[in-house]
Amino acid sequence: MSNSVSLHRILKAEPEKVFRAFTQASAIASWLPPYGFLCTVHQMSAEKGGSFRMSFENFSTGHSHSFGGTYLEVKPGEFLKYTDKFDDPNLPGEMITSVSLRKTIAGTEIKIVQEGIPAVIPAEMCYLGWQESLEKLAKLVEPVIPDA
């Protein structure tokens, strides 16, 4: 049995900027891990058929888990669909995450659906983690800082 989560937000930023936060290694490392975790992006090629590898480290315990996947669909500024698979055999299966971006009068509407979450991970915990990540994403993409 597997779980899924759906999230929806409006971010005060252009879709291209939000998309870049999902496809630039240094950006995703800054916002994707929930509070209390560090992220290392080992490899990222954000194009259809490309792949990524990263790990999250629990800052309190030093324990880390690694995962990776393949980009199934990439439409710059609009849509991403990718697989995710944990290296830990206790977290079996392959997740599929879809990220839809739509320009609105207020900025960007973002819809995320993650399916196939391993049954041992409570959907509520996954949802909570995503909420923390999206809060960090907003803090990255919403400020407009001009060049000096």
pLDDT digits over 50-70, tens only? 999 999 999 999 999 999 999
Give 106-141 pLDDT, tens digit per residue.
999 999 999 999 888 898 999 999 999 999 999 999
Write the class of the CATH domain 2-141: alpha beta
> What are the domain boundaries of the chain?
2-141
pLDDT at 14: 97
Q: What is the mean pLDDT of residues 29-48?
A: 96
* pTM confidence score: 0.93
Burial of 54 (0-12, 13-18, 19+ CB in 10 A): buried
- Quick one: what percent of the chain has pLDDT higher than 70? 99
